[in-house]
Amino acid sequence: KAGVTQTPRYLIKTRGQQVTLSCSPISGHRSVSWYQQTPGQGLQFLFEYFSETQRNKGNFPGRFSGRQFSNSRSEMNVSTLELGDSALYLCASSRDAWDEQYFGPGTRLTVT
Amino acid sequence: ELKVEQNPLFLSMQEGKNYTIYCNYSTTSDRLYWYRQDPGKSLESLFVLLSNGAVKQEGRLMASLDTKARLSTLHITAAVHDLSATYFCAVDIWAGNTPLVFGKGTRLSVIA
């Protein structure tokens, strides 16, 4: 069974630009969560989608948004990038709300 | 607000020695996870602890959960260099429909 995949794996952007990251969950998994990992703040929850609906959102500004498609694939978008958005963005999928989450390899975003 | 505290944050151990990493959390939880992360990599699930008194072992690692004390431990037996990594505990407040709240991680270095 294929694991969670994320694309791209690495990304370099300039301040003020926007970026879209993609996550394909494990087949059959309907819940997708996004996390941001930085050296200073650690791992922080961004949002969670289930059956195309955002059910939970972490404490991040509105520049961070996401969506989920009918095939459970998810995208997150960050607009007007700031240097502080440089991070490893991890996507996790689970079969349903109460199941264990499985993490993808992450997208390393660098903002210059 | 749920707080998850790990200690120590940094641990340098000699090969062959034993040590314990502690994870305290501030509110009732149904489940607790331990993950391993190698530099530049994603999170690898080690253990899922679902009830009070749960104990799980895999190789040189053993995890336990005391929900009354709101404490989980990750015990390392006879450490080897391959165990060098960062270990995170994460708490799920409810059985699903909620994000994981992570500790800051324990960076373990096993030296000869």
Q: B30-49: per-residue pLDDT in tens?
A: 789 999 999 988 999 999 99
Paired sense of beta strands A10-13 and A107-111, if any: parallel
CA B104 to CA A42: how far, in whole Å? 6
**Shortest Cα–Cα distance, B48 to chain A (Å):** 8
The more confidently predicted of residues A47 and A78 is: A78
Residue of A nearest to B104 (CA): A42
> Is residue A20 within a helix (H) or strand (E), and if so which, with residue range?
strand A19-24
Residue of A nearest to B36 (CA): A103
Residue of A nearest to B88 (CA): A43
Contact (CB, 8 A) for B109 and B13: yes
Q: Is the pLDDT of residue B97 over 70?
A: no
**Shortest Cα–Cα distance, A91 to chain B (Å):** 10
pLDDT, tens digit (0-9, with 9 covering 90-100), for B44-77: 999 999 888 889 999 999 999 998 999 999 999 9
Could you tell me how many residues make up chain A?
112
Distance from CA of residue B81 to its chain's centroid? 18
CA B34 to CA B109: how far, in whole Å? 17
Mean pLDDT of chain A: 94
Q: Is the pLDDT of residue A1 over 90?
A: no
How many CB pairs lie under 8 A apart between chains A and B? 50
Q: Which residue from A96, A101, A104 is facing B100, i.e. has the nearest CB? A: A101
The pLDDT value given to residue B73? 97
What is the DSSP secondary-structure string of A48-72?
EEETTEEEEE-S--TTEEEEE-TTS
Q: Which residue in A26, A23, A42 sits closest to A34, CA to CA?
A: A23
